[in-house]
Amino acid sequence: MGAISFPIRIITTALLAFAFCRTVAPAVVTAQVPAVQTRVASIPLEIAGDNYLLLKARVNDSEPMTFELDSGGGSGLVLYHRAAELLKVKSAGKGKGGGAGEATFETSLIKGASLSIGGVTMKNQTFVVFPPDSPPSNLGQTVDGIIGFSLFNRYVVEIDYRSKVVNLYEPSTYQYAGRGESIGIEILSRVPFARIKVPLAGRKPIEGRFLVDLGAGRFTLILNTPVVSSNNLLSITKGLIREPGAVGVGGEVKLFAGRWTAIQLGSFTLNEPVVHFAQDRKGAFASSDFNGLIGGELLRRFTVIFDYAHKRMILEPNAGFQDHFDYDMSGIRLRAEGADFKELKVSALVENSPAVEAGIREGDLISTIDGKLASQITLTEISRMFRQEGKELVLDIIRGEEKKQIKLKLRRLV
C-alpha cells in the first residue's frame, strides 16, 4: 500500500485471489524440542525503503534479478512487465489481479520456468506477469518481481532483519529450539493469517484474523474498513491525519493514520503503535472476511520464521523490539524517478504538515538535503532523516525554472 515518507505500494500481490475457507482457531504453542535443522540456503538480504526485503534470484538462465520477498504474495511468483520482456519468454494464458485499492487488472502467465535462489533451484514454476501500467515498488532501484507463496510453501523461511539474511530449511526435518514464541497461522488463499488483539478502552477488544504481510513494509497495522466503521474508530481516535499517496496494485488506497494504545500478538504487547484505518469501499481493505494486516514495521522487531508445513510463525524479539513506533515528521511523500532513480520528486503532502507550512508543493524536485546531494542519499536514509523530532533541515528544491531553498523543521504528526 504504499513509506512513511514515500508512496511505496501498500501490498503487491497479497489477496490476488481471495477466497476463504472455514476458520479453525490456531493453537499457540512454544516449541521446546531439540533442533534438527537442515539449512538448504542462506541468502543475503537487502532492506530497502522502509522495511522492504529484496534479494537476488535468477529466472531460467538469466543474470541475477532483484525480487521483493513478500509473504502476502499469494500469486506465488510475479514478474513486472519490463523484466518479463527482457527475459524474452512467451506467455501462456491470462488472468485477473487485484488487491489493495479498488481496481482490478489483467495479467499474463509464464509457465514452466525455473527460479534459482541461494543455490536452490525450483523448477517448473509459473510466474504472473503484471501489466505495463502496474509499476514496481518505488524503492529507488530496479525491482524485477516478487517472490511469495511458491517459496514460503516449499521451505521454512527464516528472516533475520538484523543480520540481513534469509535462511531456508527443509520442513520435514526442521525443529525449532530457540526462545521465540510459536504462533499458529492459517494459510488461506495462499497467504498467512495470524490472530491479533487490538484493545479498546472500556469495550471488548477487536480480535480477529490479520494478514501477515512482509510486502506492507512501512506499516505496523492496517484495519479494514468494516472494522473501522463498525467500531467507530475514526471518532474515538485522537489526532488522526489523512495518509496521502498510498497506492496499491488496485490504485489509490484511502487511509487515515493515528496512534493507538497497544496491540497484542501472541504474548507480545507492542505499545503506542501507529495504526492505519482503511476507508476503501472496494478491494482488499473493504473485505469483511479478515480484519486487516500487520506489516514490516511490526515484523522487523523480530527474527521471523514462517513454517507453513506446521502452520506456525515463530517470533524471536531482536534488538529493535523496544523501538518507538515513529512516523514521518516532514509531511513529504517522495517518488524516485529517472533512469537511475536519482531524481526525487514530491508526489504528495500531508495536510497542515511542516512541509506545507514551509511552502513545499507537489511536483517540486529536491536537489539537496542539508547540503547533501539528494541523488546520493537512499530513500532509506531520507526516511530516517525525516523522523528526527525538532530537527531543522535545509532543502534545495527546483520548481520549474525556479530554484528555492527551504527550511523544514520536523515535528510529530501522529
Give CA separation, 199 vs 57, 125, 162, 183, 288, in Å. 41, 42, 29, 19, 19
| Cβ atoms 72, 214 nearer than 8 A | yes
DSSP codes, 136-181: PP-SSS---EEE-HHHHHHSEEEEETTTTEEEEE-TTT----SSSE
The phi, psi pair for 299, rounded to 5°, reads -65, -30
Q: What is the pLDDT of residues 33-64, one digit of tens each?
A: 444 568 999 999 999 989 999 999 999 999 99
pTM of the model: 0.88
- The pLDDT, as a whole number, for residue 258 is 97
Planar angle of CA 39, 45, 47, nearest 5 degrees: 145
- The pLDDT, as a whole number, for residue 106 is 82
- The pLDDT, as a whole number, for residue 252 is 80
CA atoms of 75 and 105, how far apart (whole Å): 14
| Cβ atoms 215, 71 nearer than 8 A | yes
Asked whether the CA dihedral 34, 39, 42, 48 is positive or negative, the reply is negative
Q: Where in the sequence of the chain do the CATH 2.30.42.10 domains occur?
A: 332-409
The DSSP symbol for 309 reads G
| Cβ atoms 214, 50 nearer than 8 A | no
CA atoms of 222 and 242, how far apart (whole Å): 14
Reading the chain (414 residues) residue by residue, the pLDDT tens digits are 433 222 333 333 344 433 333 333 333 444 444 445 689 999 999 999 899 999 999 999 999 999 999 999 998 999 999 999 999 887 777 666 655 555 566 889 999 999 999 999 999 999 999 988 776 667 888 999 999 999 999 999 999 999 999 999 999 999 999 999 999 999 999 999 999 999 998 899 999 999 999 999 999 999 999 999 999 999 999 999 999 978 766 568 899 999 999 999 999 999 999 999 999 998 889 999 999 999 999 999 999 999 999 999 999 999 999 999 999 999 999 999 888 888 999 999 999 999 999 999 999 999 999 999 998 998 889 999 999 999 999 999 999 999 999 999 999 999
> May I ask the CATH architecture of the domain 332-409?
Roll (2.30)
| Cβ atoms 354, 409 nearer than 8 A | yes
Assigned fold of 39-169 = Cathepsin D, subunit A; domain 1 (2.40.70)
| Cβ atoms 360, 344 nearer than 8 A | no
Mark residue 60 as left, alpha or beta (left: phi above 0; alpha: psi -120 to 50; beta: remaining). left
Q: Where in the sequence of the chain do the CATH 2.40.70.10 domains occur?
A: 39-169, 181-317
- Where does 181-317 sit in CATH, by number? 2.40.70.10
Helix (H, G, I), strand (E, B) or coil at 399: strand
| Residue 406 burial (10 A CB sphere; 0-12, 13-18, 19+) | middle
| Cβ atoms 278, 233 nearer than 8 A | no
Q: What is the number of H-type helices and E-type strands within the chain?
A: 7, 32
* Residue with grid cell 497467504, as numbered in its chain: 191
- The pLDDT, as a whole number, for residue 115 is 97
